[in-house]
Structure 1
Amino acid sequence: MEINIIKTKAKSIYTKSKIPGVDYVINQYAGCQFACKYCYAKFICRWKPYGEWGTWVETKVNAPELARRRVEGSVVMSSISDAYQPIERELKLTRKVLQYMDKRNELSILTKSPLVLRDIDLLKLFEKVEVGLTINSFEGKEKALIEPLTPSQKLRVDVLKELHEENMTTYAFISPIIPHLTDVEAIVRETKDFVDYYFFEVLNLRAAGGEFQRLLKEHFPESYETMVGEEKFWSFIKELKDSIKRFNIKTEGIEVHKQGWKVVRV
């Protein structure tokens, strides 16, 4: 797919975060080539009318210079893009930002790409750093329909393993958890020996948008019915919580999205 690359200059690269426990987010890119059908970041298309989600990427060309600014607290990269989407291989914008960031910052990176391994040398310079991989067990038909342009689950698991072998802190971001599609127990069994902790996020059906809701209803009706049915949904959540407890693993919690934007964290 041909991607429209928009070059811009930003006034600042550090944005005060609304994420609990996070002080700043940094987005050297806006938009994402992975174009996952459920992506919650699609909302930025309202303010960036470049076309459909996944067809464009905005690059903040002065991001490395802006990254020199000293901020106090924790920084998450990225919240409206993937720092290691395919264009990064060519532009190296993420790598340049990492070079100029103050290494005293507490840094957390979440990605779906093995390209993050390229920057291990820079990541090790930070006093405190962690890298998470989004894993959701989508393969075959599910992956082809839901996130066809992303690296495979195996590659993502291999990245976690290699980061662990490099003595880096890792976490698995199991998301989106979709009833009957995301095999949470299988993911934990496969990764528990080289992951420091887990975060579990149940699909936010409203934030995923109407197009994804229709996709889910048409191709995975059982999953859709569980997501929209009150009794079925909370029964699923109980089973999920019980299965997680059986593994006796370290977790930052479970985010459960229901009734619009209300978030229940347990």
Structure 2
Amino acid sequence: MKVRVIERRAKSIYTRSKIPGVEWAVNQYVGCAFACEYCYAKFLTRWKDYGRWGSWVEVKTNAPDLARKHVSGSIVMSTVSDPYQPIEAELKLTRKVLRYMDKRNELSVLTKSPLATRDIDLFKEFRTIEVGLTINGFRGREKRLFEPLTPVHEARVNALKELREAGLKTYVFVSPIIPEITDVSAIVEDTRGFADYYFFEVLNLRASGREFQELLRDEYPESYEVLTDGSAFEEFLWELKKEIRGLHVKAGGIETHRGGWEFIEP
């Protein structure tokens, strides 16, 4: 699928974040050609009438100049896009933003792409930085239905390993966790030793949108039932927390989408 590129100039690249514990978000791209079916950022299509989610990417052409600012507090890159989606290989916009950012800024980068390893040299220039890989273990049928255009599981794990071996602080964002589908223990075992800590996020069915809700209901009715039945969900959540504690890893927290972020100790 050909992706439409929309170029625009932004007034600022640092925007206040609503994520708990994060002061700022940086999105040099808006929209994402990975086009994950469950993506929570699809809500942007209400205001950006460019077409179906995943068919367009908005590029902030002056982002490198805007990135020079020093801001106090933590920054996450990115929240409504992926900084290393396919177009980045050509445009190198993320690399330019990293080059010009004030290296005193406290930065956390999150991606699904091994392309992030290209910028290890720039990551090392930051005083405080961590790089995370979203890893959900989707393969085969689930991969084809949920996120067919994303890098495969093994490529993400290998990228995480390369980043860690380069001396960078790394984390794994286990997301989305879908009952009966996501094998949290297998993901941890595949990445143990390559991650300083983990975040765990249960699928936010409401934010995933009507089309994905219908897809999950039709193709995986047992998973859908757990997510929509109050008592079944609570039982699933209790078992998940027990499983995570039993893995004995440092967990930054778990997002349940029923009660917000909850911190878990092994």
Which one-letter code corresponds to 1:194 in the other structure? F
Aligned to 1:133: 133
Aligned to 1:256: 256
Q: TM-score, normalised by structure 2?
A: 0.97
> Residues 22 and 76 of structure 2 are in contact (CA less than 8 Å); yes or no, is this contact kept in structure 1?
yes
Aligned to 1:238: 238
Aligned to 1:194: 194
Give the 3-state SS of the residue equivalent to 1:236 in structure 2: helix
Aligned to 1:58: 58
Aligned to 1:75: 75
Measure, in 1, the Cα distance between the counterparts of 2:151 and 2:68.
31
| 1:21 equivalent in alignment to 2:21 | yes
Aligned to 1:204: 204
Which one-letter code corresponds to 1:263 in the other structure? G
| 1:265 equivalent in alignment to 2:262 | yes
Deviations 1:22-44 (A, max 9, x none): 11100000000000000000111
**Cα drift, residue 250 of structure 1:** 0.5
**Cα drift, residue 265 of structure 1:** 2.4
> Residues 8 and 59 of structure 2 are in contact (CA less than 8 Å); yes or no, is this contact kept in structure 1?
yes
Aligned to 1:115: 115
> Residues 202 and 257 of structure 2 are in contact (CA less than 8 Å); yes or no, is this contact kept in structure 1?
yes
Deviations 1:155-210 (A, max 9, x none): 00111111111111000000000001100010111111111000000000000011
Deviations 1:237-256 (A, max 9, x none): 11100011111110111110
Aligned to 2:156: 156
Aligned to 1:34: 34
Measure, in 2, the Cα distance between the counterparts of 1:226 and 1:60.
40
Aligned residues: 263
Measure, in 1, the Cα distance between the counterparts of 2:17 and 2:106.
14
Deviations 1:113-172 (A, max 9, x none): 000000000000000110000011110000000000000011001111111111110000
**Cα drift, residue 80 of structure 1:** 0.2
Matched ranges for 1:178-189 at <5 A: 178-189=178-189
Measure, in 2, the Cα distance between the counterparts of 1:252 and 1:264.
9
Give the 3-state SS of the residue equivalent to 1:189 in structure 2: helix
Which one-letter code corresponds to 2:262 in the other structure? R
Measure, in 1, the Cα distance between the counterparts of 2:194 and 2:149.
26
> Residues 139 and 153 of structure 2 are in contact (CA less than 8 Å); yes or no, is this contact kept in structure 1?
yes
Aligned to 2:104: 104
Comparing 249-258 with 135-144, greater Cα deviation is found at: 249-258
**Cα drift, residue 98 of structure 1:** 0.3
Measure, in 1, the Cα distance between the counterparts of 2:10 and 2:242.
45
Give the 3-state SS of the residue equivalent to 1:96 in structure 2: helix
Give % identity: 62
Q: Which runs of 5+ in 1 are unaligned?
A: none
Measure, in 2, the Cα distance between the counterparts of 1:211 and 1:251.
31
Structure 1 stretches of 4+ moved >2 Å: 262-266
Which one-letter code corresponds to 2:99 in the other structure? Q
**Cα drift, residue 264 of structure 1:** 5.2
Give the 3-state SS of the residue equivalent to 2:125 in structure 1: coil
CA RMSD between the two structures = 0.9
Which one-letter code corresponds to 1:65 in the other structure? D
